[in-house]
A and B are shown apart, each in its own frame.
Chain A
Amino acid sequence: DAGITQSPRHKVTETGTPVTLRCHQTENHRYMYWYRQDPGHGLRLIHYSYGVKDTDKGEVSDGYSVSRSKTEDFLLTLESATSSQTSVYFCATSNSNQPQHFGDGTRLSIL
């Protein structure tokens, strides 16, 4: 197992508040990804990182920002949460085109 820890696992917050989700890995994988999972949409890529301080956008990046200041940690921030961002968020890691290893997910509810 890739040793991926997501925190928090569950969060309920109000519209307009900032939210930060953390992904921590212990496998020294180069790539880290943030996805959101919604019914009927499968997994959609929000942002990904291919190295420290190197990030790029995915298909649903609006309203989200990320940071990676060290190999182990990849943070996802919702600057001003909206109800449409209620979702289950998964972090994943990999090396190049190898299989991705996923965290257990964070269930985020925005009221």
Chain B
Amino acid sequence: DIQMTQSPSSLSAYVGDRVTITCRASQDISDDLAWYQQKPGKAPQRLIYAASNLQSGVPSRFSGSGSGTEFTLTISSLQPEDFVTYYCLQHNTYPLTFGGGTKVEIK
């Protein structure tokens, strides 16, 4: 299985801050990576697909980059509704595997 190492597992930030979350794959997954946002009690919602493509309807403050084994999700200016949990997902090889999640908390 491909291991997805997501970091940090949690972070504290202020509204307006720029934050970056990283996922590292245990082997080359090309650009077959998606980022999801999960609000409490809700299903994950896709933010980014194919590493850097913004899902329709998602605010432009979210962006993704990377290929191969290193990927990042950047939120350029945190808004109050962004203080939730984020996951990466590799869909290059089955079984699909998720990162462990990053909880973004208000400082």
A and B found bound together: no
Q: Which residues of B contact A (CB under 8 A)?
A: none
